[in-house]
Chain A
Amino acid sequence: MLKGITKAFPGVLANDHIDLTLRGGEVHCLLGENGAGKSTLIGILSGLIRPDEGTIRIEGVETSIASPRRALELGIGTVHQHSTLIPAFSVLENLMLGDNRRLRLDEDGARRRLEELAGQLGVEIDADAKAVDLALGHQQQVEIVKALWRGSRVLILDEPTSMLTPQGVAELAKVLERLKEHGQAVIFITHKLHEALSLGDEISILRQGRLVGTIAPEVMRATPQEELRAEIIRLMFGEDARAVVDVAELREELAEAEPEGRAREHEHADVVLELRGVSAFGEGSERGIEEVSLDLREGEILGIAGMDGNGQRALAEAIAGQRHATHGDVLLYGAPVTRLAVSARQKLGLRYVTDDRLGEGIVGMLPVGLNLFLKRVGESPYWRHGRIQRAIVDGRATELIREYDVRTPFVSTRVSTLSGGNIQKILLARELSFDPKVVVFHKPTYGLDVKTTAAVRDQILKLAEGGGAALVISTDLDELLEICDRIAVLSRGRLVGVVSSGPGAARQVGELMVGAETVEAA
């Protein structure tokens, strides 16, 4: 169906002669690291990007997908990674948005269509519920219905599991089965190997813009899982496979075999960070936090699990001092810091690695070197009498760049030209140097490739071993299970429970996440 698709961006061939064949009734997994070209390929299929070369045939007819509208007309529906639903609209209103064929909205027709599609998927959807009130798993089902709305033949799911609980993933797998029964072709994009293996009929592996291998359905069925996995890892990472195989494997094992975890005993260690009934307002569509209490001990890594938008940002910012706490106290080494400004808390050793790396973590137009020191502006020895000491700043920056393995051509390169992984390394270098004591990590590995992810986790573990304490807020449950001693679950702005890492932790956390949501919804 796709032949020789090529798309070049400056300095990189995002897609280099990629051939892909989709068949109805099959789930085709696209597997690859970040930057492998998955998004570009999807952009081409959904009409957002035009290929430089190559042809697309649909049922044998050569077609060009010139616009997103054309893609819909051709029956290519896309479910993007992040919700595109309008929160204040009802499910039905959201679905009717795409219906601009007639002037008058056909509400009854839409209701019938929704029932029909929900029946096909085997799910129940409340047409009149507001999108904002739906759990993420349900929102995703609405998104799928929306993609199928105009009669889709190809359904593209872009990282659909990244926001789901383990239970949500299981439900999605059932939906996929139903779609296959109805003859849909599904493209399933993921960077998680175990998902590709369990959900896919056919797997295509992308690496650095090239299609490096396709595993046909017959082969998938005939080969044992272990062999497939080894083969795919080799394809995904090529020559580097040996270097990352441990990491990738580790993650897989952990995800499946319920780790014994690293739950060490910290009960006798000193409490370094304590929250006592802290409340803070949310911003925009994000939830605030209410009455959050927790304590973090020396050498401990405490995870905060929960779906995005449940108050994570409010929690992180209330601790860092970027957001005003309306109630409660934040204590550092037993002393309240609630009234201290961001910079004062930094000086006490409280650090915050923000999740919004581009939005607030860096100043893109400034060079790498300066960005490493933006939290110490005016401090000696880098500034003397308010005057910058360029040589000292650049010298120390060069050391940090080497220490944290930031790949930048020059100290003076503008940060905005670096990749997400390198920007995250800059953030880590900035927060973890200069004697950190308590560090809040907000989605520290979100969107990073496997190697950088491993490096970031190593840094977190190193911090804890060195006597520091870490609060890791993440939506990736596997990650929390891997590195945390305890995991607290944040749901609708409240901490609904704490689970010690260990056997069964994944299930318990998942139940807390889901349980809290159903209770609230009822």
Chain B
Amino acid sequence: MSSETAAREGPVAAPRHRPARSVRLERILDVVIRSIVPVVLALVAGGVLLLALGRNPLTFYGNIWVGGVQGTAWQDSAIRMAPFLLIAAGLVLIFRANIWNLGYNGQFLLAAAFVAGYAPTLVTEVPLWLAFVTLFLLAGAVGAIWTLVPALLKARFGTNEIITTLMMSFIAIDLASILIKGPYHDATTPLPQTAVIPFEKMLPSIPGTRIHVGLLVAFAAILVVHYVLTRTAWGLRLQVMGANPRAARHFGIDLPRLIVVSFLASGFLVGLAAAADILGLWGYIRTGWNPAYGDTIIPFVFLARLNALAVVPFIAFFSVLSTGGDLAAQEASLPTDFLLVLVGLILLFMTVIEYLGRRRELGASYLPPGLRQALRAPLLRRRKAA
């Protein structure tokens, strides 16, 4: 209603290409409020909590800096980033399509089991570069194939993928255990684990650092996902499907195929994360090991508003927090689980901010959509100003 009048009185002349600066400013403000404020609030609240526990928050956060950034500590943080970024890339891609692949833990572990199972023999028998390429592709393929059942169910019957991916995830976690105890078991040890990849046959480091090249793969994946989403026809189709599946059908987009392909791509990227982590950091896998990287980074994927590039600083922040946090928690004689409290606080404040943004809409559901839109706008503006 508002825009109708505005448009009627507005210029008829040829439209220009760039939005007004105020629009861009508004978007930046929106990003600040929705993404950065929860993190800051969480750090402040965490500080208050530390004070209550009789610790000095400044010392604690200072130690995080020391342990996570200073000297060569930043390299440890960077190593942690590799699997995080790859999983984040896979999640951003499929979340943009409004599909919720929550089976990342299973996809990751199963791919990790396959990589750890074949790597020790493969790296000694074929040229190293070929072994790495093969193992990365193998991991990607395992992750992708594991999404196939939920993908086909959703494409064919519209089955809720949240449930199917979670179920498949549990199966994959147990299947990984079976593989580690069975065919991939290292015969030289009674422990339920795979053979260890010889140290010199692990992923090479980036020259001058201890960081393995898996991080470069991760950055490349982030860039590719961002490019695909922002520049390509396929990415546009994906986003149209995510924003409005009915419109996608109206536009003649082949939804079933798009659903399956985006699932496969997401699973593939999660699988790559497993390859990078096993080949670059651990060298073997043991039953019961489940780092649940995906669960850890999901809040940051949302804080980044499903923007692939924006994910990077958040993941970097969290990597520093978790690397330096070990030292800081030790110094303050707190359990390392205190870091989970900080992540929990971030989630809490995210929810609060999301709630404040939507609260006023709840009671308005009986209004016609045009009116609701008109009512919503000033509230959003007021909240931003506050």
Contact A10 B378 (CB under 8 A): yes
Contact B3 A417 (CB under 8 A): yes
Identify B2's interface contact among A11, A356, A361, CB under 8 A: A11
The reply on B246 being an interface residue by CB < 8 A is yes
Q: How many A-B residue pairs have CB under 8 A?
A: 162
Identify B232's interface contact among A12, A358, A387, A405, CB under 8 A: A387
The reply on B157 being an interface residue by CB < 8 A is no
Contact A409 B4 (CB under 8 A): no
The reply on A49 being an interface residue by CB < 8 A is yes
The reply on B250 being an interface residue by CB < 8 A is yes
Closest partner residue, chain B, to A422 (CB atom): B7
Contact A410 B1 (CB under 8 A): no
The reply on A402 being an interface residue by CB < 8 A is yes
Q: Using Cβ atoms and an 8 Å threshold, which residues of chain B touch A362?
A: 244, 247
The reply on B385 being an interface residue by CB < 8 A is no
20 contacts between A and B (CB under 8 A): A10-B381, A35-B5, A39-B1, A48-B367, A209-B5, A341-B252, A344-B252, A352-B250, A359-B244, A360-B246, A363-B239, A363-B243, A374-B240, A378-B234, A407-B8, A407-B12, A410-B16, A410-B20, A411-B15, A411-B16
Q: Name the 6 nearest CB pairs between A and B, nearest first.
A: A343-B252, A419-B4, A378-B233, A342-B252, A407-B7, A9-B374
What does the 1/0 interface line of B207-251 toward A look like (CB < 8 Å)? 000000000000000000000000111101101100110110111
Chain B residues in the interface with A (C-beta under 8 A): 1-8, 10-12, 14-20, 231-234, 236-237, 239-240, 243-244, 246-247, 249-254, 366-371, 373-375, 377-378, 381
The reply on A354 being an interface residue by CB < 8 A is yes
Contact A366 B243 (CB under 8 A): yes
Contact A10 B2 (CB under 8 A): yes
The reply on A190 being an interface residue by CB < 8 A is no
**Number of residues of chain A lying within 8 A (CB) of chain B:** 66
CB within 8 Å of B: which of A414-448?
416-422
Query: How far apart are the CA atoms of A209 and B2 in the complex, in Å?
Result: 11
Q: Using Cβ atoms and an 8 Å threshold, which residues of chain A touch B231?
A: 387-388
Query: How far apart are the CA atoms of A108 and B368 in the complex, in Å?
Result: 35
Contact A402 B249 (CB under 8 A): no
CB within 8 Å of B: which of A341-382?
341-346, 352, 354, 356, 358-366, 368, 370, 374-375, 377-378
Query: How far apart are the CA atoms of A322 and B237 in the complex, in Å?
Result: 17
Contact A12 B7 (CB under 8 A): no
CB within 8 Å of B: which of A382-421?
383, 386-388, 394, 398, 401-402, 405, 407-413, 416-421
Contact A375 B233 (CB under 8 A): no
B371: min CB distance to chain A, Å: 7
Closest partner residue, chain A, to B367 (CB atom): A48
With A363-B240, A388-B232, A410-B19 as contacts: A421 and B247 at CB distance below 8 Å: no
B50: min CB distance to chain A, Å: 41
Q: Using Cβ atoms and an 8 Å threshold, which residues of chain A touch B371?
A: 39-40, 43, 48-49
Query: How far apart are the CA atoms of A354 and B252 in the complex, in Å?
Result: 13
Q: Using Cβ atoms and an 8 Å threshold, which residues of chain A touch B244?
A: 359-360, 362-364
Q: Using Cβ atoms and an 8 Å threshold, which residues of chain B touch A501?
A: none
